[in-house]
Structure 1
Amino acid sequence: MDLQQMRYVVAVAETRNFTRAAERCFVVQSSLSHRIAGLERELGVKLFARSSRRVELTSAGEAFLVGARECLAAADRAVAGAAAATGVVRGRLAVGVIVTTAAVDVPEVLTRYRDRHPDVRVLLRFKDSTDLVAAIRDGDLDIAFLGLPESERLTGVESVVLDRDKHVLVVPAGHRLAGASQVTLREIAEETFVDFAHGSPGRTQSDEAFAAAGLVRDVAYEATAVDLMTRLVARGLGVALLPSAFIRPRAAGDPDLALVPVVDGPRRIEYVAWSRFNPSPATRAMLDVLGVAARP
């Protein structure tokens, strides 16, 4: 058994397809299939149930996959640690980002990181904040930029506050409130809203604010992409509450949208979060680029 066989098993498990797994691993399918078959003979178990249309892990395969991922992660840490001892940062850095990140310019940060550490392979993952935190705890992400309601606290990860922000009301340019200097939640509670999916941190921030004010609102449209949300607003299908630091520069050049401050509106905190368990040299290097000190 060797690490390459483990990589092949992980690739097939994640793609559920031998052809796509071989493409991911840059080998021909026959070679990948042969190596996995040899591993199955060595182990004395079948790792995958195969048919002409489907590939699924067996119960033995599911058990093997857990250990294989741990072994590969340990091998990556060993390589990165050896390189770090010589002053060179290598390996992989998995970075999670929410779609409304505003506290940092992520492309600019990644550019500075690449300039300092060109041997690190950076992988980007876009998810909501709850999923990003879970992925850090599970070891699937190294670091993430996320935002949470003021009432929610991060647990199980290390974190540093990057910014605190208020939401603003986003309305069509011709809306009755487009020229208002400010509004309250009570004044907008009867509007039709465009918002993120129910249960997501982006949605929870607004839901909690209305609940705290004893108000109920109608969310008629749910979306995961902010561009779609603002297009729906521009068409007059609803209004939205979005973080001011994120939406203000995007709406500045859009004549179809207007922003209105909300006196008692939602507030959120943006964080950078990372694993509290043995952060990799690549993670520590990113924290250094951000000017954040990782605990020893």
Structure 2
Amino acid sequence: MELQQMRYVVAVAETANFTRAAERCHVVQSALSHQIARLERELGARLFDRTSRRVHLTPAGEAFLPAARQALEAAERARAEVAAAAGEIRGRLAIGAIPTVSSVDLPRLLVNYRTRYPRVHISLRSAISEEMIEQVKEGTLDVAVLGLPPAGRVVGLRGHELARGGLVAIVAPGHRLADAGEVALAELADEEFVDFPTGTGARVQSDDAFEAAGVRREVAFEVNAIEFMTRFVRHGLGVGMVPTAFADELAGVRVLRITDATARVEVLVWSRSRPSPPAAALLELFDIDPESYS
């Protein structure tokens, strides 16, 4: 069993297509198919069911895939550790961030990182906090920037608080409160809202604020991005709530300070295991020493 064979299996599983997998791996399809067939013979089981229209994992393939990914990650980690011992940071760095991150200028940070460590391949994913917590635990992500309620805690990971901030409400220019400047949550009780999906960190924060104020509200539209929320609000379809740090970036809406909303916390999290050299180098840019966190 060879690492290259595992790479081919992962590529086919992720693309569901032998041709696209071969293109991703920069080999001809016949060579990729031959190596996978050879691996299947060695394992004594078929990893893929192939039809004229699609390719999908067999039960044996489903069992093999996580172990193959772990083996590839371990090999990548070994190469990175050897390079770090020789004074070079290289390998892969997978970062996650909520769409509403405001505590750090990620593009600027990554430009700085890439300038210092050009041999590191960086990937960035935007997702909800709950998904990224699991991905960091699984090792799919090295680090992630989460949004949590003030009392929120992440079990099983190490974390560092980056910032705390409030919430503001955004309304259409023609809204009855457009010129108010500030508003209490009770004044928004009869409004329809545009908010993030139920269960997400940003939504929990808004829900907790209204619950603490004893105010009920109706969320009519659920969206996944502030830009999408702003478009709904701009057209008068509802009221939105966003972090204060985004207030100056939103065009075509009026921003109202909320006098009784709870704070919003952004946290950087990483695995309790020793971070890879690329991840440790990123933590250094945040002035974080991972060894100081228990």
Bin the TM-score by the shorter chain.
over 0.9
Task: Please state whether the residue corresponding to 1:163 is helix, strand or coil.
Answer: strand
Query: d(CA) in 2 for partners of 1:19 and 1:196?
Result: 38
Query: Is the 2:163–2:265 Cα contact (8 Å) retained in structure 1?
Result: yes
Query: d(CA) in 2 for partners of 1:238 and 1:53?
Result: 44
Query: Is the 1:93–1:282 Cα contact (8 Å) retained in structure 2?
Result: yes
Provide Cα deviations, 1:74-130, integer angstroms capped at 9, x if missing partner: 101110000000110000000001110100000000000001100000011110011
What is the deviation of 1:285?
0.3
Give 4+ residue runs of structure 1 displaced > 2 Å after superposition.
none
Unpaired segments ≥5 residues, structure 1: none
Aligned pairs for 1:145-294 (under 5 A) are 145-245=145-245, 247-251=246-250, 254=251, 256-294=252-290
Query: d(CA) in 2 for partners of 1:19 and 1:204?
Result: 43
Task: Please state whether the residue corresponding to 2:256 is helix, strand or coil.
Answer: strand
Aligned pairs for 1:112-131 (under 5 A) are 112-131=112-131
Q: Which deviates more from structure 2 when the two are superposed, residues 120-129 or residues 45-54?
A: 45-54
The aligned amino acid for 2:256 is V
Matched residue pairs, number?
292
Query: Is the 1:146–1:272 Cα contact (8 Å) retained in structure 2?
Result: yes
The aligned amino acid for 1:267 is A
The aligned amino acid for 1:231 is R
Query: Is the 2:173–2:234 Cα contact (8 Å) retained in structure 1?
Result: yes
Query: Is the 2:162–2:267 Cα contact (8 Å) retained in structure 1?
Result: yes
Query: Is the 1:11–1:25 Cα contact (8 Å) retained in structure 2?
Result: yes
Please give the root-mean-square deviation of Cα atoms over the aligned residues, in Å.
1.2
The aligned amino acid for 2:258 is V
The aligned amino acid for 1:114 is R
State the percentage of identical aligned residues.
Answer: 51
Task: Please state whether the residue corresponding to 1:295 is helix, strand or coil.
Answer: helix
Matched, 1:142 2:125: no
Query: Is the 1:7–1:72 Cα contact (8 Å) retained in structure 2?
Result: yes
Unpaired segments ≥5 residues, structure 2: none
Provide Cα deviations, 1:230-253, integer angstroms capped at 9, x if missing partner: 0111111111011111x22212xx
Provide Cα deviations, 1:120-171, integer angstroms capped at 9, x if missing partner: 0001111001111110001100011121111311111111000001100111
What is the deviation of 1:280?
0.2
TM-score (norm 1): 0.96
Query: d(CA) in 2 for partners of 1:119 and 1:239?
Result: 45
Query: Is the 2:77–2:276 Cα contact (8 Å) retained in structure 1?
Result: yes
Query: d(CA) in 2 for partners of 1:83 and 1:278?
Result: 16
Task: Please state whether the residue corresponding to 1:140 is helix, strand or coil.
Answer: coil
